[in-house]
Amino acid sequence: MSYQQAYRDAWKQGPAAALAFLRAVFHHPGNQHVKGEPSDYLSDEDEDEGKLTPAQGFDKMQAEFCPRQSVQEKIEFIMECLVERRTSDQDQGHRVTPFNALLLTVGTYDWGDATLSSIHYNPESGAWKLQYGLNHELIEQSDNYREDSDWYTFIYDLAHSDHYKLCYEGEALEGEMLFSQIRAAQYALYLEGLVDVLATQPSFADFPKTQPLHFLIDESEWAKTEGTLEHKIEWRAPLDAASIEDSELLQRYVAAAVPPPELSRDDRWLYLLKSIREPKSPQYAQLIEALASDSELMAWSFEIAQGAVETEKQQRGGAPSEQPPDAGKPDDRKPDDNAIAKAKIQCSRVSLRAWAYLFWSIPANVPQALTLTKSILALPSPVLSVVPRGKIEERSKSAISELFGTWKFINDSHKEECQEEFEAARKRMQSVETPVFRVLFAEQEMRLKHGVDAAKPKRWGVAYNLEYVSNTLIDAVVACVDELLALPDSERDFDFLLTRLLGLGIKAQTALPGLLRCLDEIEPGSYRTNRLLDDLPKVFFDLGLNTPPKRIREHIEGQQYHNFDFYKAWATQVPKALWLEFVQAFETDSSGFNEPGSWMKYLSEGKHAEAIFVAGILQHKGREAMLSALGKAVSSPAPLLLKELLYSIAEHYFGKTKTRNLPKVVELLADCAELDQANQLKLRQSELVLYRGAADSSKLKGTALVASLAELQERYSDSPALYYCRAELALHAGGAEACGTTTLKALQTLSAEDLVYRKAVFQFAGIDTESWNDATPFHGYAVYQWAATFFAQDSYRDGAYSDGPQSIDRDLFYRALENIVAPLTNEERYAALASLRAEYDFGPTLHTAQLAELSTALTDDNWNINYQICKKLVAVPLVYTDELLKNYSQFRDDETRRRALVALMWPIEELRMPLLADPAFQGDLATFITAYPGATKDTCDLVFSTLAKMGQHEVILATAEDLNAHTIIASFLNINRGIQALGAFDRGVALLDRILGSTSPKKPDFVLLTTNKGVLQFQQGNAAEAERTFETLFAMDWSRFDYKEDDDNFMAEILGGDLDAQLRDVFKQYYAMAKYNAACIYATRSGVQEAVSALHEATELYPPGYPAKKIQGESDFAPIKTAPAFVALIKSLGESQ
Amino acid sequence: MTHPLDIHRKTPRNLKLVHSVPVEAGGEFIVHEGYVYMGSRYGNKNTLHVIDVHAPKTAKLVSTMRFKRAIGSLAVRGTTLYASESQRAINLISLENPATPDYFDCALALGKTVYEFGFVGDFLVAALNWDGIGIMDVSVPNKAQWVDTLKLEEGYIEHLAVVRDRIFATCASGGIAVFEIQEAKLVQIASPKGDDFNASSVFVVGEHLWFIGTPEGKETHIYVIDPNKVDEVLVSFELDVSAPSTLIDIADGVAVGWNGYTCIGYAPSQAWARNLFKQHETDEDKVYVETPCDRNALSEAEIEEIEMLSIMCMDDTSCVVREGDFILAAQGDTLNIYSIEEASLLAKR
C-alpha cells in the first residue's frame, strides 16, 4: 500500500488515528537519520545545537502546540468574521453557491499556521469557492510553541531542507508534505473540540448555511501547483439534520438552513459571470449551463465579448471596426440593457481568451465561438512605441497571451478553420521590433513548438530548456542589453533582462560585449550600478567569462560576507592555472620570481588570486627554494607586487597568538630592502619573541645571549621590552644586586618623561624622598621581581611565552606597577616588600654557598628563597631528593608554586620514580598530567608507563578515575593495562560509563569508548550485556560519516586538507573496531551469520586493520572457524590481500 | 554668519553662534579666570586644551598639554587644577598663571577610573567607578594623597554632587548613596533610594538635587530631592523627553539641558519637560541653524525653508557652561560660543 493510501485510510478513523499513523512513521527506527557532515558537533559549543531526531521533533511538535487564545475567544473571532462582515453581496452569492462547509487550510511556511474559511463546496466534484467573510488565520505562529522557540530548526529542516529523509515501506517521503500532514492532523484534533462548542452557539445556529455542513481540512500547500481537490479531507461527520436533532437549537438551525429564494435570471447571470476567470469553480459549471439553456443570455454574453475585442483593437492602435456590434441597434431592442451595462463593467478586465474559452466550452455554440476567435486572431499587433516604458512588458505579455491562449482553446476539430488567421497573426507579431516583446514572443513560440517546459515560467523569470532555445530569442535578449544601455534606469526592464540572461547562461554569449560595456559605463552609486554589481556576477559566470571583471572583483571582495557561492571557483580559475604554469616555469628556472610573467599581472588583481599564490607557495614541496628565491628577489629594490607577495607570506607566518613560525618571518623579512612600516614592526616583534624563546629555553647562554641582546638593543634601542631583558640577564649573571642596579637605570630612563611613572616607582618601591639619589639596588630589584611576576602571569602558559608577537614589546616594569602593585593595600605592599627584602638579602648566599649549606637553608615559609635553592639542588637530584620532596609537600597547596616545583623536578629522569612514589605527588597526579607543559597524552603515557614499571597499577586506575574524557581516550591503552593487571573490569566499565556520559554520542570518540566498554563487559563475563552495548551503538545514527569528498578538492589540498574526510576515516577505523569486537561476541553467542556479517563490515570499513591472518588468529572465533561463511570470508580476504 | 532663517522666523531664536574654536579633541571643560580648560574623556588624543575666553567673540586656543592617557574630569580649587588621567593619576596643575598652566605633581590612581570630582573642605572627593568613592587630602597641593576609599557592596559610582559637606552619589546598580567625611574617613550615612531606581546622573539645581534614574520596567524619571531630607523624594517626574547629558540651572527649579544636538527644558516641580530646539549647521558654509522642536510653531514658509536647506545636526554636546550672556558648549571637537537671545528661556535668571 502506498503511503498516501495508508495516510488517507488512517484519516478515515479520524484525526487521532491520522496522528498516530504519522507518529509511527516518525518514530520508526529506520527513519532516525539526520543529515550532517562528519565535522558537525566537533566543537563542544555545537553540542546544544544538535539536530532533533525525527521522533524527538515529532514529539516536540505535539508538546509545544499550545493555542494562546481560549476556545471561546477563537469562536468569538470566527463569529465576528461571519456575522459582522456579512454583506448583501455575500447573501446574493449564498443564493447561488450556498455556504455549506468550513475549510481549514494548513500552511507550510514558518511554524505552519492555518486559515479557517467559510466556503461553498461541491462534494461530488470537489470544487469550492469562498462564501461569506471567514477566511482568517485561526492558528498562528505563536500557537505552535510555548515559550521556547529555539527548536524551530527542526521544523525548518523537516519542511525545507534535506536533513531528514523519511521513508514509508521503502517509499521516500517529502518533508514539507509530512510537516503539513502532522499539522493537519494536530489541528483537526484541536478543532474537534472547537466545533463541538461552535455548534452550541445560537449565533452560529442562526447564520445562513445549508445542510449538511461539511468540515474540511486541506493540507495541500506542499503540493504547490498541483490540483488541491484530491488532498481535501473531510475530517468529521457533517452537521446535518440527524446530528442536530437533539440540539436545543434545532429550530434555529432548521430556519437558517432554509434554501434562500432563487435570484432573478439576470442577477443570477451577473453573479455567475464573475466566475469567468475560474473555470474550475462550481459557479463556472452553472454559468455554462445557464448560457447553454438560454439563448438570450448567450447573445448578451457574445455581445459583451465582441465589445471587449473592439476595445482591445482600439487600444492596440487599430482602426475601429466598420460596424461595431451594437451600432445602430435601438436601445429598446434590449429588454434589460441594465444587466448588460452592469456586465460590461463587471467584465471590463476579463481577457479575450477567457471569453474564447467560455464559448468553446459550450458545445452547441461553435459558430459564435468561431466568430469570436477569428476576431481575436485578426487583432493587430500592439504599437508599443507609444506605451509607457514601465508598461511594455505587461502589454506585450497580454497581447501574446491573447493570441496563443485563444489558439490553445479552439476545439481541435475546428483548429484548421482558424489556421490561416493564426499564422497571419504570428507573422504580424514577428515584425514587432520592441526587444522585450521579441523576447516574450520568442519564448511563446518555443512553447508552441516544444511544449511549455521549453520556456517554463517561474516566479521570477523563466526556465529555458537550452536544447530548444532559438537564435531569435538570443538575438532579442542581446537587443535588450543594448536597449538597456541606451535607456534611463528602469528596475522592471532590468529584472526582465537579468532573468533571461540567467536562464540562457552560456547561450547568451553574444550579450557579453554589451554587458561588459554596461559595467564600464555605469555611474557609481546608482540603483542600476548596485543591481548590476549584485546580479551580473552570476550572469558573467554563467556566460563563461574566465575571470571576473575588475569592477565585479572589487565589489565582491570588498564585502566581508557575500553569498556569491560560485565566486571563489570563478576568481581562482585563472590564477590556479597561472600558478601551475608558474610552478612549471620555476622548476626549470628558479629565478622565476624575477621573470615577469602573466601570473604577475593576476597577482595584483584580487585577494583570491594572491591567496592562491600564497597558499600555493606555502604548500609546495619546493617551498623553501621558492621562499629563498623570493627573498633574493626582494633583497634589492623589487616590484611592489613581489614585496606584497612576501608580506602576505610573512603575515601568514606571523599569526596573532602562535609564535612557532616567527623564525620564518625573520628569515623572510630580515634581508628585504625597504620594508614598509607594518613589516618593520613585524620583524622587530618576531625578533624579540625569538630572543625571549632562546633565553627561556637556554638555547642561548652566557656570552652568546649577551651578544644577542646587545645586537637587538643596537637596532631597537627604544624597545621597552629589552630593558627588562637586560635586568633579567643581570640577575642570572650577577645576582640580585646587579639586577636591581640595572633595573634602576632602566626605570630612570623609561620614566624620564613621565611623572606618574616616576611617582609610582618611588611610592610603590618605598623611596620615601621621591628622589633617585635615595634609590638603592633593592628598590630596583623589587620592581624587577614584580615585573617578572606580571610577565609570568600575563604572558606565559606551560612555561613558555604564549602571548603572541604583538604583546612582546611592552614596558613590563610599568605594567607590573599598574597591575601587580597598584591593587595592593598599603599593608599588602609592605609585606611584599619585606619578603622581597629577605630574598634580596639571601642573594649573595645563594650565589656563593655550597649545595649542602643551601639545603639546610630551606625555610618554612619563604617561597622565593626556597625556590631559588631548589633550582640549585636539582643539579644533584638523588642527593637532595628528600629535601626536594619535603619542599614540594610544603608548597603544594598553592597551584602556581606546585607547578613551578614540578617543572623543576619532572624533567630530571632520576627524580621521576621518587616523585611518583611520593603519596603527596600521587594525590596531585591527575592535575599534574593535565597541566604539565607539552602534550597531555605524552605526559600521561610517561606517567602511566613509569607507574606500570613500578607495579603501581592501583595508582594508574585511581588517577585515571580523576582524569577528563579527552585524556582517558588518548591514553586508554595504558589505563587498560592497569585494568587488566588488576582484573578490575567493573571499575573499567564504571570509568568508561562516566566519560561516555560527558562525551557527545555524535563524535567518533563515542564509538571507541563504547567498544572498550563492550569488551570490558565481555571480559567481566557479562556477554549478554556486552552484546546489548554493541547493538545500541549500531542502532545509532552515524549516517553523517557517509561522507564523500568533492571531485574538485584543489582548494582543500592547498588550504589544509579536508577535515570531514579525516574525521570520516577516524570514524571508520573506530566503527570497524566496534564491529570486529561485536563479531567476537556474536561468535560465542548468537552464531555464525551475525559474526561473519559484523566481520565483513569491519573488513570493509578498515581493511588494513583486519587482514585474514589476524582474524584466523583470534581465539574468540574458534567456535565458528569451520563454518562455511567464515571460511568463505577468510578466503575472500586472502584473495583481496 | 547670517542666519538663513532670519527672514521668516515666527518663533524666537534662543542662541546665536558667535564664535567657534576647533580643538584636537573636545570634551568636558571648566571655566576659570577667563580660560576654558578642556579635556577629552574618550578617544586617544590625551589632550588638555587651554582656551582664552575673556573676549568670547574672539576666543582662541592658547595651548595644548599632552598626557599619556585621556583627561576626563576637571576641578579647580584655589589656583590648582585637578585633572584626572584615565587609569593613571589625578594630575595637579598650577594655574598661578592661568594662561600657562604648570603641571607640577600628581596623585597616583594607577588602574583606577576616576569620574566626577567635588570638594569637601580640604578633601577632593572622586567617583571611582567600581572602586567606589575616594577622598584625597589636598590641603597642601603638592602633598596631595589619597586618605580613604570606600567600595560599595554592589554597584559603581560615576557621578556625584557635593552640597555643603555631604556627598551625593549615583550608584548605578543600586539607587543613590550619601556620604560624609568624618576624621578623614568616608562614612556612608544614608542610602535612601535603595532599589527603586538606578540613578544614572545627578545635578545640583537651586537648593535641590536632581537625580536622573530609571525604575525597573519604567521610563526615565527626574527625582527632586532636598539634600537635607534625603529620605523624601519631593518630586518624581516621568520624562517623555530625553534625559540631559549636561545641564544648566536657570532659576526657580527650571533647568535647560542638552542631549545630542537637542536642547531640552525641564521643570519637574511643574511636571513640565519639553524639547526646545535642535541645533544644526548648513552643510557647506557651516552657518548655525536653530529649529524649534515643535513643528506647529513654525510658519509654512519656515518649514519650506528648512526643508530646502541642506543642514546637518551639530555634533553631540558633551558639556555646556553659561558665562554671563554667553553659552559655551563643547560640541564634538569644537568649543562653540553662543550669545543668548533675549526671548530665550536660557536668558532667564
Closest CA to B82 of B52, B61, B103: B103
How distant is the alpha carbon of residue A929 from its chain centre? Answer: 37
pLDDT per residue as tens digits for the range A440-471: 999 999 999 999 899 988 877 788 998 898 88
Which among A753, A755, A763, A819 is the top mutation candidate for probing chain B, defined by the most B β-carbons within 10 Å of its own β-carbon? Answer: A755
Q: Which three cell numbers stand for residue A158?
A: 523537516
A-chain residue closest to B149, CA distance: A825
In whole numbers, what is the pLDDT of chain A averaged over residues? 86
If you write DSSP's letter for every residue of B301-334 in order, what string do you get?
A: HHHHHHHHS-EEEPPPEEEEEEETTEEEEEETTE
DSSP A781: H
DSSP B129: B
Q: Which three cell numbers stand for residue B145?
A: 594623597
Highest mean pLDDT among A206-215, A811-820, B225-234: A811-820
Task: For residue A957, name the pLDDT band (cuts at 50, 70, 90).
Answer: very high
Cβ of residue A309 closer than 8 Å to a chain B Cβ: no
Number of domains in chain A: 2
Residue A822 has its nearest CB partner, among B91, B105, B111, at: B111
Which among B110, B128, B150, B151 is the top mutation candidate for probing chain A, defined by the most A β-carbons within 10 Å of its own β-carbon? Answer: B110
Contact A818 B106 (CB under 8 A): no
Give yes or no for residue B51 having a pLDDT over 60.
Answer: yes
Alpha helix (H) residue ranges in A796-935: 812-816, 826-848, 851-856, 863-873, 881-891, 895-905, 909-917, 919-931
At residue B264, the pLDDT reads 95
At residue A489, the pLDDT reads 52
Secondary element (H or E) of residue A495: helix A491-504
B-chain residue closest to A754, CA distance: B68
Asked if residue A634 belongs to a domain, the reply is no
Structural domain including A231 reads 3-32+54-256
> What mean pLDDT is predicted for residues A802-820?
92
pLDDT per residue as tens digits for the range A304-343: 999 999 988 888 875 555 544 443 344 444 545 588 888 8
- The larger pLDDT score, comparing residue A606 to residue A773, is at A773
pLDDT per residue as tens digits for the range A482-530: 777 666 555 666 778 888 888 888 888 888 888 888 777 777 766 667 7
- Give the number of residues written for chain B: 349
Dihedral sign, Cα of residue A794, residue A798, residue A799, residue A800: negative
Closest CA to A651 of A609, A685, A694, A623: A685
> What mean pLDDT is predicted for residues A116-120?
92
User: Which of A241, A256, A271 is the last residue in one of the domains?
Assistant: A256
At residue A328, the pLDDT reads 39
Highest mean pLDDT among A42-46, A910-914, B31-35, B156-160: B31-35
- The larger pLDDT score, comparing residue B51 to residue A896, is at B51
Q: How far apart are CA B224 and CA B161, in angstroms?
A: 13
Give yes or no for residue A830 having a pLDDT over 80.
Answer: yes
Cβ of residue A769 closer than 8 Å to a chain B Cβ: no
Instruction: Judge whether B124 and B144 are in contact, CB under 8 Å.
Output: yes
Identify whether A54 is preceded by a cis peptide bond (ω within 30 of 0): no
Instruction: Judge whether B32 and B81 are in contact, CB under 8 Å.
Output: yes
A-chain residue closest to B87, CA distance: A818
Q: How far apart are CA B42 and CA B25, in angstroms?
A: 9
Asked if residue A414 belongs to a domain, the reply is no
Give chain A positions within 8 Å (CB) of B106.
755-756, 759
A-chain residue closest to B146, CA distance: A826
Which among B88, B114, B150 is the top mutation candidate for probing chain A, defined by the most A β-carbons within 10 Å of its own β-carbon? Answer: B88
Task: For residue B308, name the pLDDT band (cuts at 50, 70, 90).
Answer: confident
A822 Cα to chain B: minimum distance (Å): 6
Give chain A positions within 8 Å (CB) of B85.
756
Q: How far apart are CA A112 and CA A996, in angstroms?
A: 38
pLDDT per residue as tens digits for the range A985-1041: 999 999 999 989 888 888 888 999 999 999 999 999 999 999 999 999 998 888 888
Residue with cell 447571470: A269
Cβ of residue B315 closer than 8 Å to a chain A Cβ: no
Give chain B positions within 8 Å (CB) of A760.
108, 110
Residue B108 has its nearest CB partner, among A754, A756, A819, at: A756
Q: How far apart are CA A182 and CA A986, in angstroms?
A: 46
> What mean pLDDT is predicted for residues B95-116?
94
Asked if residue A332 belongs to a domain, the reply is no
Instruction: Judge whether A339 and A266 are in contact, CB under 8 Å.
Output: yes
Contact B108 A755 (CB under 8 A): no
How distant is the alpha carbon of residue A797 from its chain centre? Answer: 34
What's the number of CA atoms in the CB half-sphere (13 Å) around residue A85?
13
Give yes or no for residue A228 having a pLDDT over 50.
Answer: no
Q: What backbone phi and psi angles, to 5 degrees, belong to B203?
A: -135, 150
Asked if residue A1087 belongs to a domain, the reply is yes
Cβ of residue A818 closer than 8 Å to a chain B Cβ: yes
Reduced to 3 states, what is the DSSP secondary structure of residue A74?
helix
Asked if residue A130 belongs to a domain, the reply is yes
Task: For residue B80, name the pLDDT band (cuts at 50, 70, 90).
Answer: very high
A-chain residue closest to B106, CA distance: A756
Give yes or no for residue B193 having a pLDDT over 60.
Answer: no
Reduced to 3 states, what is the DSSP secondary structure of residue A923?
helix
- Give the number of residues written for chain A: 1137
pLDDT per residue as tens digits for the range A1110-1134: 998 889 999 898 999 999 999 888 7
Give chain B positions within 8 Å (CB) of A754.
68
Give yes or no for residue A37 having a pLDDT over 90.
Answer: no
Could you tell me how many CB contacts below 8 A there are between chain A and chain B? 31
Instruction: Judge whether A273 and A346 are in contact, CB under 8 Å.
Output: yes
Give chain B positions within 8 Å (CB) of A751.
none
The residues that bridge with A103 in the sheet, in sequence order, are A117, A216
Residues contacting B78, CB < 8 A, separation 6+: B141
Asked if residue A676 belongs to a domain, the reply is no
Asked if residue A154 belongs to a domain, the reply is yes
At residue A1137, the pLDDT reads 54
A-chain residue closest to B145, CA distance: A763
What are the C-alpha distances in Å from B227 to residues A332, B188, B267?
97, 15, 18
Highest mean pLDDT among A274-283, A692-701, B38-47: B38-47
Q: How far apart are CA B331 and CA B336, in angstroms?
A: 7
Task: For residue B303, name the pLDDT band (cuts at 50, 70, 90).
Answer: confident
Closest CA to A691 of A719, A671, A731, A733: A719
Contact A760 B108 (CB under 8 A): yes
Alpha helix (H) residue ranges in A316-365: 337-346, 352-360
At residue A47, the pLDDT reads 52
Task: For residue A46, name the pLDDT band (cuts at 50, 70, 90).
Answer: low
Asked if residue A690 belongs to a domain, the reply is no
Q: How far apart are CA B159 and CA B116, in angstroms?
A: 5
If you write DSSP's letter for every residue of A179-198 in order, what string do you get?
A: HHHHHHHHHHHHHHHHHHHH
Of A236-240, A783-787, B188-192, give the lowest mean pLDDT range: B188-192
Residues contacting B247, CB < 8 A, separation 6+: B203, B205, B210, B255, B256, B257, B258, B266, B320
Q: Which of residues 729-758 of A touch B (CB under 8 A)?
A: 754-756
DSSP A87: -
Give yes or no for residue A739 having a pLDDT over 50.
Answer: yes
Instruction: Quote the Cα angle for A750-A654-A726, to 5°.
Output: 30
Cβ of residue A822 closer than 8 Å to a chain B Cβ: yes
* pLDDT-above-90 percentage for chain A: 41
Contact B111 A759 (CB under 8 A): no
If you write DSSP's letter for every residue of A209-240 in order, what string do you get?
A: --SSEEEEEE-GGGGTTS-SGGGEEEEEEEE-
pLDDT per residue as tens digits for the range A75-117: 999 998 998 888 888 888 898 889 999 999 888 888 888 999 9
Which among B108, B113, B131 is the top mutation candidate for probing chain A, defined by the most A β-carbons within 10 Å of its own β-carbon? Answer: B108
* pLDDT-above-70 percentage for chain A: 91
How distant is the alpha carbon of residue A1110 from its chain centre? Answer: 43
Cβ of residue B148 closer than 8 Å to a chain A Cβ: no
> What mean pLDDT is predicted for residues A118-131?
86
Task: For residue A846, name the pLDDT band (cuts at 50, 70, 90).
Answer: confident
Residue A823 has its nearest CB partner, among B106, B108, B111, at: B111
> What mean pLDDT is predicted for residues A891-908?
88
pLDDT per residue as tens digits for the range A400-425: 999 999 999 998 889 899 999 999 99
Closest CA to B124 of B144, B110, B98: B144
The residues that bridge with A116 in the sheet, in sequence order, are A104, A136
Contact B110 A756 (CB under 8 A): yes
B139 CB burial (10 A radius; 0-12, 13-18, 19+) = exposed
Secondary element (H or E) of residue B61: strand B60-66
Q: Beta strand B15-22 with A167-168: parallel, antiparallel or unpaired? A: unpaired
Contact B111 A818 (CB under 8 A): yes
Q: How far apart are CA A68 and CA A62, in angstroms?
A: 15
- The neighbour count for residue A1074, using CB atoms within 10 Å, is 24
User: Which of A221, A240, A256 is the last residue in one of the domains?
Assistant: A256
Highest mean pLDDT among A258-272, A375-389, A684-698, A1040-1054: A684-698
* pLDDT-above-70 percentage for chain B: 94
pLDDT per residue as tens digits for the range A638-663: 777 778 888 888 888 887 667 788 98
Reduced to 3 states, what is the DSSP secondary structure of residue B72?
strand
Q: Which of residues 823-852 of A touch B (CB under 8 A)?
A: 823
A812 Cα to chain B: minimum distance (Å): 15
Task: For residue A226, name the pLDDT band (cuts at 50, 70, 90).
Answer: very low
Q: Which amino acid is at A683?
A: L
B-chain residue closest to A761, CA distance: B108
User: Which of A213, A231, A256 is the last residue in one of the domains?
Assistant: A256
Q: Terminus-to-terminus CA distance in chain B, angstroms? A: 28
Q: Beta strand B317-323 with B221-226: parallel, antiparallel or unpaired? A: unpaired
Of A632-636, A1080-1084, B210-214, B252-256, give the lowest mean pLDDT range: A632-636
The residues that bridge with A114 in the sheet, in sequence order, are A106, A139
Q: How far apart are CA A58 and CA A173, in angstroms?
A: 15
Residue B88 has its nearest CB partner, among A756, A821, A823, at: A756
- The neighbour count for residue A1082, using CB atoms within 10 Å, is 26
A303 Cα to chain B: minimum distance (Å): 56
Identify whether A575 is preceded by a cis peptide bond (ω within 30 of 0): no
